[in-house]
Chain A
Amino acid sequence: MDTVISVENLGIRFNRNRKRKFSIREMVLQNKNTTPKGSFWALRNVSFNVKKGEAVGLVGANGQGKSTLLRIIAGVLIPDEGKVEVNGGVAPVIELTGGLKSDLTARDNIWLVAGLHGLNRKQVAEKFDEIVEFSGIGDFLDTPVRHFSSGMRVRLGFSIVTSLDEPILLVDEALAVGDAEFKIKCYNRMEKLLKEGKTLFLVSHKEEDLNKFCTRGLYLKKGQLVIDGTLKEALDAHLKEQGALDD
């Protein structure tokens, strides 16, 4: 059994007062101690393993640590406690449009983003047509991305990242965007990637999406991993909690 993601006793702490920036004047004049007082654990004592080819859905209400966990696995956040080991490359379907540079054309952006994710020239050249085709940007290939609609940007971003051919796919609510036609294309691509034996880690509020792709479910509540079982178990726990709130 090859474990591709191994999370052990993970913990990460954030500042509660989300006034993110503090000025030097404040630090000097008010002698303000910014760290321990107002901090909270966004995730704590979280441990689990994901095996190759598994499709895991991450369930929980807003602000329970789902995206934070995803970003730690993606390697763009560093935990304060514990260990995360990821064997193999990661295709992060996170902040999809963020990597695109609006002054550059779609063509330049494909080369740039694919290259930053580690594809060499030859690999980009091979996948280039497929990326263009899938994104459906057509005639706008040589148009600066700043003229794109937000939907077009997401499509371009999604096409690039899901073409990376990395063994692990991390998806953060990205499926909720795009028009109906593109949504179907996304679903098909995700299914294809799963069939190829990729590992999927999906964060979503949409039961429909979770049911479609995931078999295993993790339920996060207040930064704790409450349920690690089948997707149904995780969803039931989540819905029960939601229901309790509604009453």
Chain B
Amino acid sequence: MKHLQALRLLVFRDLQIRYAGTWLGYLWSLLDPLFMSLIYWLVFTVILGARGVGEQPYLLFLLAGILPWVWLASSLNDSSRALITENRLVRSIALPRALWVIKSITAKAMEFIFALPILIGLTIIFGKSVTWELLWFPVAFILQYLLLVGIGLLLAPLTVLARDMKNIIRLVVRLGFYLTPIIYSVSDVPAQGQFLSYLNPMTGIVTLYRAGFWPQGTEILYPLLSAVLWALGLFALGLFFFKKIEATVLKEV
């Protein structure tokens, strides 16, 4: 696959520009999710005293949900505009067009991986023990990657054709944060609502990420099923849709 080389180059370039050779650039991608977690921890446990929500230690619980969410939010933002921000390259180099979407998501995936040391650090600081279910973590990563590529392939062409996609995306991402079990867990949702919760593509994935810290046992079945169906479904749909609309979009890029 000679396109892998192009992908590697583009991802490297994105990270190079993002971190611009300074270490502060890298630090920001650690500090951002950390401070977000701290503020929710402050609001929920100190101010509201909601000790019953989520799992303990709550800060670690928050971070394990916020990290994947930051990856999702930044990926949707970047990948939806990928064909527009890279339009000069799209217009002059005959690479497979899906590559522009895939590289945005891959670059953000790298940032997600680079931020994992804070998760590991907090686990050690809190002395939290982990179980074999931590194996679900890489599974969740792969599923989230497929899911994001699928969504990106849907959004990137639409954003070229309709300018207001970016407002919609911003709104959905903001609402999605509260509709996804990030500051709470699925078990906090009233029994009738739990099924509905799995209609959210991120619910299963976030639960899988957390399983190694707060074991799910056989309860993992529903989150796993939801995550796999969403990831594979949207990935397939994204590929299909992108192929269909590619020619139209290229005329407008």
Contacts and interface: CB of A to CB of B under 8 A. Distances in A.
Contact of B20 (A22, A103, A112): A103
Given A21-B161, A21-B162, A22-B162, A116 B247 contact: no
Contacts of B6: 115-116, 118
A18 to B, nearest CB: 10
B88 A25 contact: no
A99 B92 contact: yes
Nearest to B252: A20
A245 to B, nearest CB: 28
A79 B251 CA distance: 10
Dominant SS among interface residues on chain A: loop
Interface stretch (B8-16, B54-62, B229-237): B8-16
B44 to A, nearest CB: 36
Contact of B247 (A74, A78, A90): A78
A48 interface: no
A74 B5 CA distance: 20
Contact of A95 (B9, B20, B92, B250): B92
Nearest to A100: B88
Given A20-B252, A104-B16, A115-B9, A99 B93 contact: yes
B17 A24 contact: no
Interface string A5-21: 00000001011000011
Contacts of B2: 118
B164 interface: yes
Interface of B: 2, 5-6, 9-10, 13, 16-17, 20, 88-95, 161-165, 168, 246-247, 250-252
9 contacts: A15-B251, A23-B163, A76-B90, A77-B251, A92-B92, A99-B92, A104-B17, A115-B6, A116-B10
Interface of A: 12, 14-15, 20-25, 27, 71, 74-80, 90, 92, 94-99, 101, 103-104, 108, 111-112, 115-118, 120
